Amino acid sequence: MAVEIITREDLNEFRSLLLSDLKEIVNAKEKQQKQWLKSSEVRKLLNISPGTLQNFRINGTLTYTKIGGTMYYAYNDLEKIMECNKVNALPTLFK
């Protein structure tokens, strides 16, 4: 039975490799946003009720695609709506 000695340098190299691998995994997951979201995902993301989501569909605020009985919403459309409805904070409130 052979005995291997692990040095501090070996551990530091392993740590560096492990951290770089973890960073790659985290960055890949962030870039991997779904293109289409179901109603439940949209409600959870925007923290709104089913009735509010239905009102958004009815008044044309939010576009959707219906396949069978399932409604899908484009993630890009949600980002655009959030950006268009952004209200800038007044700087005087934070002084």
- Mean pLDDT for each 10-residue chunk of the chain (95 residues)? 85 92 80 84 94 95 94 93 83 64
Assigned token pair, 35: 């293109």
Around 85, how many Cα atoms within 13 Å sit in the side-chain half-sphere? 8
The letter for the amino acid at 9 is E
Least Cα distance to 42 among 55, 31, 59, 50 occurs for 50
Q: Running DSSP on this structure, what letter comes out for residue 95?
A: -
What is the pLDDT, as a whole number, of residue 58? 95
What is the pLDDT, as a whole number, of residue 4? 85
Task: Please report where in the chains the tokens 């973890």 appear, as a residue.
Answer: 22
Whether pTM exceeds 0.85: no
- Any idea what the Cα angle at residue 25 is, between residues 20 and 28, rounded to 5°? 120
What is the pLDDT, as a whole number, of residue 1? 67
What is the pLDDT, as a whole number, of residue 69? 93
